[in-house]
Amino acid sequence: MKKIIAIFLLLFVIPLSSIASNIPKYVITSECITSIKIEELKYAPEWSIIISLNNSAAEEMLKFSKKNIGRKARLVNGQGENILKNEVPIRGYVSSPFQAVGFSSRKEAENVMKSILSTNGMCGEK
C-alpha cells in the first residue's frame, strides 16, 4: 500500500506542483509605483485598481508581457504573496499604466492596494 501511495505522489502530485511553479510571476512593490488609484467600473458592478509604474518598471512589465503573451501569470507583492486571487491571462502587451479588474467591493480593492504599497524591493519578473 505504501508503494502505491508513493507512486501516486510521484506521478500526480509532484508533476502538478512543478507545473504550478512554472507560472510566471511579476513583482510589484511601492518602490516602482508612481501612482495608484481605485475606480468603480462603469460597465460592470466591480472595482479596479489603476497602477502607474516608473520608467524602469514599465519597461520590465513590457518585456515580461511580450515574453509571456498567451500565458497566465501571477502578480505578487515584494514578499511573494499573490496580489490577485487568480492568475491573469496576458492577452497583449502591458506596460504602464495598467488596470487590475474584478474586485467585488471597494474594500477588497483597498486591501489589495495596501498589500502592494506595504512592500518594498525591486519590481520585475521573479
Q: What are phi and psi of 7, to 5 degrees?
A: -65, -45
Report yes or no on 114 lying in a domain.
yes
Report yes or no on 88 lying in a domain.
yes
Report yes or no on 11 lying in a domain.
no
Q: What is the average pLDDT across 15-33?
A: 75
Q: Which domain holds residue 112?
A: 23-125
Q: Enter the pTM of the model.
A: 0.76
Q: What are phi and psi of 116, to 5 degrees?
A: -70, -50
Q: What are phi and psi of 95, to 5 degrees?
A: -140, -120
Coil vs helix vs strand at 124:
strand
CA 86 to chain CA centroid, Å, is 8
| pLDDT greater than 50 at residue 118 | yes
Domain count, the chain: 1
Per-residue pLDDT tens digits for 65-86: 999 999 999 999 888 888 888 8
Question: Could you tell me the CATH number of the domain that includes residue 55?
Answer: 3.30.1360.200
Q: What is the pLDDT of residue 6?
A: 40
Whose cell is 502607474? That residue is 52
Report yes or no on 7 lying in a domain.
no
Report yes or no on 15 lying in a domain.
no
Q: What is the average pLDDT across 35-44?
A: 90
Report yes or no on 17 lying in a domain.
no
**Band of residue 21 on the pLDDT scale cut at 50, 70, 90:** low
Report yes or no on 14 lying in a domain.
no
Q: How far is it, in rounded angstroms, from Cα 118 to Cα 13?
A: 34
Residue type at 70 in one-letter notation: G
